[in-house]
Amino acid sequence: MPLVPPPFDAELAAALELVEDVTTPGFTLDDLADARQAAELLGLLDVTLDGAFEVEDRAVPGPEGAPDVSLLVCRPTSTAFTPPLPVIYHVHGGGMMTGTNRAGVAEPLGWARELGAVVVSVEYRLAPEHPHPAPVEDVYAGWLWTAGHAEEIGGDPDRMVVAGASAGGGLTAALALLTRDRRGPRPLGQVLMYPMLDDRNDTASGHQMAGLGTWDRGANETGWTALLGDRRGGPEVSPYAAPARAADLSGLPPAFLDVGSAETFRDEVVAYASGIWQAGGAAELHVWPGGFHGFDGLVPEAALSRAARTARVAWLRRLLGGTT
């Protein structure tokens, strides 16, 4: 019996129809060049937010034997915020295959403007040219530099949060696992926005949403195969590549996770939150009814998008205030 997909939120569905000619759920490597070109246009984004941030690009040491890692460092200019400030370490999305450290950074900059925080956004090597472990090792190297130089950039090393959406959410979850297992600098919390967690690509929600929304099971196979090659779905995949593979989710920093009810990643995100709870950890989970993958970025003024942003900021406020 075929799985019936859950309905899209009516406001989101109407917006999705308007862009269906340019936003399709399937993605193949034939689409990669165009997608990367589109991502480069994000370099035109005013990351100062009309002067609210002082912006600096830094090249910092990468993993051993690898190139330097590029970090975008954004510090609030308002005198209302006195250093040391919280630090939001951001990992961009893009299916493991596209994006720069300016991709998706608008939302963490919005949090930082409201909460008074420094944003550091990391650029990592992309698959398929650079398969696992290159992306996550770049993310880890950038994190080590940020933690070690927090005071230099006006940040508080004891109030550092890691955050990412989609593929960036998966890499953020992997970073939290790596910092635990390598005994590296520990984040205060992790924000996982509709994270890409499971290379096996065989959940009920993945099958339900095939051919629908903005990122479906076929696109997901493309991304995971780019990252892992013929290891995708096999028995030897590392949890630092696909965090859903982790057998032990204990000892992780508090997590905020959210996902749409009408998207490929729904079931793997719910399972990951459950795994954290079962291991005795702290997690807040939101499943946004009728949300498709990346709905808040595509339709930012929708009621559901505003609710998602409000929930994320509220969780961060409690975390940074020590009440989460």
Residue 17 CB neighbours (<10 A): 10
Angle at 95 between CA 89 and CA 101, to 5 degrees: 35
d(Cα 208, Cα 229) in Å, to the nearest integer? 25
SS3 191: strand
Q: What letter would DSSP give residue 132?
A: T
User: Which pLDDT score, from 0 to 100, does residue 24 have?
Assistant: 75
User: Which pLDDT score, from 0 to 100, does residue 324 have?
Assistant: 67
d(Cα 249, Cα 319) in Å, to the nearest integer? 20
d(Cα 103, Cα 88) in Å, to the nearest integer? 15
User: Which pLDDT score, from 0 to 100, does residue 294 have?
Assistant: 96
Residue 235 CB neighbours (<10 A): 6
Low-confidence ranges of the chain (pLDDT < 70): 1-2, 21-22, 43, 324
User: Which pLDDT score, from 0 to 100, does residue 21 have?
Assistant: 67
Q: Find the DSSP H helices in 52-189.
A: 106-115, 134-148, 167-181
User: Which pLDDT score, from 0 to 100, does residue 45 have?
Assistant: 84
Amino acid at 188: L
User: Which pLDDT score, from 0 to 100, does residue 25 have?
Assistant: 85
CA dihedral 286, 104, 303, 52 (to 10 degrees): 120
| Furthest C-alpha separation in the chain | 61
Say if strands 118-123 and 69-76 run parallel, antiparallel, or are unpaired: antiparallel
Whether 171 contacts 69, CB under 8 Å: no
Q: Find the DSSP H helices in the chain.
A: 10-18, 32-40, 106-115, 134-148, 167-181, 204-208, 217-228, 266-278, 295-298, 303-320
How far is CA 216 from each of CA 25, 47, 88, 95, 199, rounded to the nearest angstrom?
5, 30, 29, 11, 13
> Angle, nearest 10°, between helix axes 167-181 and 134-148?
60
Q: Residue holding tokens 């696109």?
A: 219
| Token code pair at residue 161 | 């949060």
Amino acid at 245: R
User: Which pLDDT score, from 0 to 100, does residue 23 have?
Assistant: 72
